[in-house]
């Protein structure tokens, strides 16, 4: 969920030579004029929890799509040369898709942007941008000393803008990285990741930027946090370097504005940081978590099931780590799941059915428990 997560498909596509998506869905030999007969050719036969799958974007890198509070709109980030953008910018569209050549761009078009999320009322949104540091797109390192890395741009700050792209307020101005903002279900609180302490930690603040409180304080990258449906807990991804070598590597990369995201597990805590628990111990990269509408399960992306680490699918499990179940079965990349607020739909990003390209697109589906 977040800018850094959006780039994870590059781990599979840049560091490895991968085959194109291969569908094991039944051939569309019985397609009818009804919409359901057409759209379910986009799912795989084994994907029993999703149906009426629809593709909403077609080409480029599109991901981190999140619902408006009324479940009618999606705000997302995209990098598509056909849309005249040089790096990730923020767009929005109806849950039915968009009309015309491209959806409305609601970021400034300057710098690199990430981590958009609707504000209460659905007429404004929060996102992070580097444009105050430089209006040009920053460089994006991928490999340093043989290690796959994500950049952590110090020029990222969090802003509120309207759906015409006008910035209404700057919420953060502390030195260092501030990004990965999401809102509580009641719209009263924001959780975000910041380096203001010298490490990548979680913080909360009110929606006007006041009352900033630190949530986590353990060494490692804490990010991609979301609130539980009742607003009382947070779920997030984290790296926790333990050995002296791992600690030194983490600190040296962070000093260069980089993190290595290949070893992450999921954690849950109360909004104030208390009762912190590690809920996965799967190995590999486990990230992009989101609470099931019941609050009793979590859906997330993981590559733990593949020795090569080349494939990312969605999984679901109980909050105590039991009952692990694979949800999607794409051959390359599925991630960034979010349930609609009414719990009836799910949106996610996928490389499925991209014609052998590197395109990542946004898909929406009905959810079936």
Sign of CA dihedral 276, 238, 61, 190: positive
Taking only the tens place, the pLDDT of each residue in 255-290 is 999 999 999 999 999 999 999 999 999 999 999 999
Q: 316: closest CA among 302, 307, 306, 326?
A: 326
Which residue would you say has higher pLDDT here, 201 or 144? 201
Give the pLDDT of residue 35: 39
Whether residue 30 has pLDDT greater than 90: no
Residue 257 to residues 50, 95, 151, 154: CA-CA distances in angstroms?
A: 38, 35, 6, 7
Q: How confident is the model at residue 308 (pLDDT cuts 50, 70, 90)?
A: confident
Taking only the tens place, the pLDDT of each residue in 126-141 is 999 999 999 999 999 8
Whether residue 1 has pLDDT greater than 80: no
Q: Which two tokens stand for residue 130?
A: 């580097």
Which residues does 158 contact at the CB level (< 8 Å), separation at least 6? Answer: 115, 126, 127, 128, 170, 171, 172, 178, 179, 181, 190, 192, 209
Whether residue 179 has pLDDT greater than 60: yes
Give the pLDDT of residue 21: 31
Q: 201: closest CA among 209, 212, 188, 210?
A: 212
Give the pLDDT of residue 309: 81
Q: How confident is the model at residue 307 (pLDDT cuts 50, 70, 90)?
A: confident
DSSP H/E element including 347? strand 345-350
Three-state SS for 338? strand
Chain centroid to CA 224: 7
Give the pLDDT of residue 39: 53
Domain range summary for the chain, segments of one domain joined by +? 3-367
3-367: which CATH topology? Neuraminidase (2.120.10)
Q: Which two tokens stand for residue 276?
A: 């912190």
> Measured over all CA atoms, what is the biggest interatomic distance in the chain, rounded to whole angstroms?
61
Give the pLDDT of residue 341: 98
- The fraction of the chain above a pLDDT of 90, given in percent, is 85
DSSP string for residues in 69-105: TTSSEEEEEEE-GGGT-SS-EEEEEETTB--SSSPPB
Q: How many other C-beta atoms can be found within 10 angstroms of the C-beta atom of residue 27? A: 8
- The fraction of the chain above a pLDDT of 70, given in percent, is 89
For the entire predicted model, the pTM comes to: 0.90
Taking only the tens place, the pLDDT of each residue in 233-247 is 999 999 999 999 999
Q: How many other C-beta atoms can be found within 10 angstroms of the C-beta atom of residue 59? A: 16
Give the pLDDT of residue 96: 98
Q: Which two tokens stand for residue 49?
A: 């929890």
Average pLDDT value over all residues in the chain: 90
């Amino acid at each position: 969920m977040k800018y850094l997560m959006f780039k994870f498909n590059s781990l599979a596509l840049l560091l490895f030579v991968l085959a194109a998506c291969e569908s094991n869905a039944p051939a569309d030999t019985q397609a009818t004029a009804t919409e359901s007969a057409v759209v379910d050719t986009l799912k795989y036969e084994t994907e029993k929890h999703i149906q009426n799958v629809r593709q909403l974007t077609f080409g480029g890198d599109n991901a981190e799509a999140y619902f408006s509070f009324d479940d009618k709109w999606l705000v997302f980030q995209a990098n598509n040369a056909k849309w005249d953008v040089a790096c990730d910018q923020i767009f929005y569209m109806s849950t039915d898709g968009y009309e015309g050549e491209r959806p409305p761009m609601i970021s400034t078009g300057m710098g690199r942007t990430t981590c958009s999320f609707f504000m209460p009322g659905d007429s404004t949104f929060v996102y992070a941008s580097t444009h105050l540091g430089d209006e040009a797109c920053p460089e994006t390192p991928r490999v340093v000393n043989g290690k796959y890395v994500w950049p952590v741009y110090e020029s990222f700050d969090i802003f509120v803008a309207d759906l015409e792209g006008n910035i209404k307020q700057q919420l953060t101005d502390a030195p260092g990285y501030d990004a990965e903002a999401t809102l509580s279900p009641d719209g009263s609180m924001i959780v975000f990741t910041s380096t203001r302490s010298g490490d990548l930690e979680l913080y909360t603040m009110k929606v006007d930027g006041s009352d900033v409180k630190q949530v986590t304080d353990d060494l490692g990258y804490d990010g991609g946090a979301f609130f539980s449906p009742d607003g009382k807990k947070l779920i997030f991804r984290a790296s926790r370097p333990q050995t002296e070598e791992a600690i030194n590597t983490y600190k040296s990369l962070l000093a260069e504005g980089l993190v290595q995201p290949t070893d992450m597990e999921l954690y849950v805590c109360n909004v104030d940081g208390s009762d912190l628990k590690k809920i996965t111990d799967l190995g590999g990269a486990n990230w992009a978590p989101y609470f099931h509408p019941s609050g009793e399960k979590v859906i997330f992306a993981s590559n733990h099931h593949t020795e090569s680490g080349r494939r990312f699918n969605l999984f679901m499990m109980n909050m105590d780590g039991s009952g692990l179940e694979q949800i999607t079965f794409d051959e390359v990349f599925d991630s960034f799941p979010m349930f609609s607020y009414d719990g009836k739909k799910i949106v996610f990003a996928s490389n499925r059915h991209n014609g052998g390209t590197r395109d990542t697109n946004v898909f929406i589906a009905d959810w079936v428990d």
